[in-house]
Chain A
Amino acid sequence: MRWVDFKDSVKRFWSEYKHQTSGMVGLALLIILVVLAFAAPVLTSPNIPKEWQPGGHAWITNPKNAPPSWENYFSSVKKAPQKVFKLGDMQVKHQVNGSQNVYTITFNYDMRYNVPPKDIAIMGISSNASTPKDNPKVSIMVQRPKEKGVKYENILLLQDSPFPNGGSIQLSYTPQVKTLLFYWLYENGVFHLLMPLQPQLPLNIRLLQLNQQLQMNNTLYGYFQSADPMKILFGQITDGKGHLLPLRRIIYNTTGLMGNYKFTLLISAPKGVSVNLNNLEVVMVGRTYGLLGTDQYGRPIAIGLLWGIRIAMAIGLSVAISTVLIGILYGVTSAYVGGWVDEFLQRFNEFMMTLPVLPMLILLSLYFGGKISLAQLVGILVLFGWMGTAKVARSMALQIKEQTYIEAARSLGAGTGRIVFKHIVPQLLPYAFANIALSVPGAILSEAGLSFLGLTNPNMISWGRMLNDAHANGATINGYWWQVIPPGLAIATVGLIFVLIGVSLDTVLNPRLKRA
């Protein structure tokens, strides 16, 4: 075929394909997908594939099993979303206090939710301290919004907590925070102690006494044990008319106190130690997270969905193209050569069809150690995927073989290779193109199935893998719909895109079908 002819036929094909509405919709969606697949590292971060494994460090501050943030729009109970304060969002003041360098960091958190954040995490303070006692120390103070009837609006949340390099502080899981919050409740008169704390004693001693008395009183200690520090910190402690709520209500049944919370972080370190705050982050760990929530490891579903496009496309296209090409060559050879070779090839085809696909796939993946890589997966799927195409290609080639122009070519002295590749295969190309597009969904479904069974590499970001995690997490039974619906919908959508394109290609390239 000459270049001009090729250009001409492409042009003719395009002018017909243009009028296929569903085909054009499919093509547009395909282009969007391809763009998204390539843009994934830019839209998120290029390190995602490395960090994706369960329990990866990148997801430590993310809430687990959190629903999407937009669920708030459909619910009367507003849950706090994830919010990250970086150094740029905070004011930093540096002063020298005796032998200490003190950094005062302030920022405001606007709390507008009935259910406050789950946790507050502080990360990214690094220093060149050589001994543990030189590590920077962190104190946190919070000024709550005004609430009628509350004596003290300022809470000391954390006092001089050492911060090692690469460490993090999660306030909900720090025992000191809870004690300090109960101290604040006590000072406001929410509950009373048998032996009142003596104001003239140092704070440490008072806290020690508070702890002892809490542990001696079963009721109080029960409240202390089951308290969620964040619900106290961000919760109402009065009824709004200036009367304090009983402790029971505050612990079990309080609602968020909306308004502006002013946070002050004091970071102090000995003079000789230099502190680097460039990576400082304060994370308000959400009860909801981002566009599509998180899984049980805190990994955002939206990121998995985006990166999953790559695996789906890679597997779908490579498997579809390989199986169809192999199938066509196999079928055409079988038909053209004929005789015993044809008989043998057909019996081999039937033999391959007899092997049950999924059980054999599972068995073969066990041979690869139960954790098949992408390339092995493609190989296996191709091995069990070419038979149907080969059968159709053979019967089409049998018809073409009888055409007079083949006879003419043969009488002109054309060899088998020339006739097969120059005269028969080109006739089958339209069928091949349509069939490639129509084979993609099957390949993606097979991958998803194997991944769902947990037989593929767990660090591969694939939609089947995400559904496997969801199933392991009991997402259906627990009603974590955001872990179940999006990956499956993605699989179905990509499949549908290729079906739309395939059917349109079929209509344009195989004119015989147009009548129907």
Chain B
Amino acid sequence: MAMGFGKYVAYRIVNAVIILFLAVLLMSALFTKLATIQYTAQVDSDVQMWVQSYFKAHHRAPTQEQILSYKAQLMHQYGLDKSYWGRTWMYTVDTLLFRWGNSIPPVFGTHSVVKQIEGALARTILLFTTAQVIIILIGLALGVKSAQIPGSLLDRTISILAMLTTSLPMWWLGMLMILLFVVYLGWLPITLYSQVAVSGWVNILKKMSLPVLTIVTVSFGGWSWIIRNIMIGTMQEDFIMVARAKGVPERKVIYGHALKAAAPPIVTMIIFAMLGSMNGAIITEIVFNWPGMGRLYWEALGLNAVRTMMALNYMFAFLFVFSMVLADILYGYLDPRVRVGAAARS
């Protein structure tokens, strides 16, 4: 049974929306639970504070009714007067429709969750996406190069490098970078990484230097290695032999024939990596005091800013689902075999 490309795309999108909805539902169920615990404690301490201040102002304790009515008012303010599932549902819908509202404590200097995420996302893109672009470029160059002569010195170096860096904690390497370049060599001022805020483009670029170096160091070996493997797999195909036999110049064989055939998996990887880089990295951002998405999540966690956390988790899930769909569609577009195969299976 043949299914058109349009139908295939529609199927994937509907599927993605359902999955996203379920993921958000689960997350808001978890977060509502967390919020209930935290807000209940908050209400209790607020009521106590109020009773104390009332006592100071009026020199007598408030009556039981007054306390209860004040508590009820607070419960309403925190939304605790609705049922658990009612609040879960409300959170789910609000989050899905990007109605993120305000977080109760201010995070990154503002109550508006949208503003918090806008700022953090911009800074994360500035750091992590830049680094990712560098990684992809280096990875492509080295990967293709080492696939040309498997077993060469470059090839073996890349394999070893990939093995060495897969098990390296990125944030630990970050700590080492600070230790080396800031503390021992003194090339960068210490305040750059002991404080969050920096002003001026020059300082921002300086602050970016070590994290970018860290991220690129950890990841470029693995990328080169994967691209090498994909390329080697392609280079063994018959059409490459045919092209070579026809006398197509080696340069053209590699960049014209082989790289084009290897494009679908590489493009998929790039999509996942580029969109994934927008998630930031919680621990690396903590180590470098970089106010991106990861640090926003961590600070929101410390401040019990449930709406911020919820919105961030939604962003993370959304980016993943979006890249999944995008990769599927592009894969189908670039490699017709998949399109037909997927259609045949459905």
Interface set of A (CB-CB < 8 Å, partner B): 347, 350-351, 353-356, 358-360, 362-363, 366-367, 441, 444-445, 448-449, 452-453, 467, 470-471, 475-479, 481, 484-485, 487-488, 491-492, 494-496, 498-500, 503, 515-516
Contacts and interface: CB of A to CB of B under 8 A. Distances in A.
B298 A479 contact: no
A491 B171 CA distance: 12
Contact of B171 (A452, A479, A516): A452
B316 A351 contact: no
Among B31, B166, B298, B316, the most chain A Cβ lie within 10 Å of the Cβ of B166
B164 A496 contact: yes
Given A362-B301, A499-B163, 20 more contacts: A347-B15, A347-B18, A351-B22, A354-B23, A355-B26, A360-B313, A362-B297, A363-B34, A453-B282, A467-B172, A467-B175, A471-B287, A476-B179, A477-B190, A479-B183, A479-B184, A481-B179, A485-B176, A503-B163, A515-B236
B312 A491 contact: no
B183 A356 contact: no
B232 A516 contact: yes
Contacts of A471: 175, 287
A354 B321 contact: yes
Contacts of B316: 356, 359
B169 interface: yes
Contacts of A515: 236
A498 B317 CA distance: 31
Interface of B: 15, 18-20, 22-23, 26-27, 30-31, 33-34, 150, 163-164, 166-169, 171-173, 175-176, 178-179, 182-184, 190, 193-194, 229, 232-233, 236, 279, 282-283, 286-287, 297-298, 301, 309, 312-313, 316-317, 320-321, 324
Contacts of A449: 169, 171, 282-283
Nearest to A478: B183
Contact of B168 (A360, A366, A492): A492
B298 A453 contact: yes
Contact of B167 (A351, A359, A445): A445
Nearest to B232: A516
A516 B150 contact: yes
B300 to A, nearest CB: 10
B282 A358 contact: yes
Given A479-B184, A495-B168, A350 B233 contact: no
Contacts of B30: 363, 367
Given A347-B19, A355-B23, A479 B179 contact: yes
Contacts of B15: 347, 350
Contacts of B233: 516
B324 A453 contact: no
Given A359-B316, A484-B175, A492 B169 contact: yes
Contacts of A481: 179
B305 to A, nearest CB: 13
Contact of B163 (A354, A359, A487, A500): A500
B169 A448 contact: yes
A485 B183 CA distance: 14
A-B pairs with the 9 shortest C-beta distances? A495-B167, A488-B172, A356-B316, A441-B167, A479-B183, A354-B23, A476-B178, A499-B163, A476-B175
B167 A477 contact: no
Among B15, B167, B173, B283, the most chain A Cβ lie within 10 Å of the Cβ of B167
B183 A476 contact: yes
A366 B34 contact: yes
B240 to A, nearest CB: 14
A495 B15 CA distance: 37
Given A355-B317, A363-B34, A453-B282, A496 B23 contact: no
Nearest to B18: A347
30 contacts: A347-B15, A347-B18, A350-B15, A353-B320, A355-B27, A355-B317, A356-B316, A359-B297, A360-B313, A362-B282, A362-B297, A363-B30, A363-B34, A367-B34, A441-B166, A453-B283, A471-B175, A476-B175, A476-B178, A477-B178, A477-B183, A477-B193, A485-B176, A488-B173, A491-B167, A496-B167, A516-B150, A516-B229, A516-B232, A516-B233
A369 to B, nearest CB: 11
Contacts of A445: 167, 169
Contacts of B182: 476-477
Contacts of A478: 183
Given A355-B317, A356-B313, A491-B172, A477 B194 contact: yes
Contacts of B18: 347
A490 to B, nearest CB: 10
B312 A351 contact: no
A485 to B, nearest CB: 7
B282 A488 contact: no
Contacts of A347: 15, 18-19
A516 B146 CA distance: 12
A105 B179 CA distance: 46
Contacts of B287: 471, 476
Nearest to A353: B320
Nearest to A444: B167
Among A356, A488, A498, the most chain B Cβ lie within 10 Å of the Cβ of A356
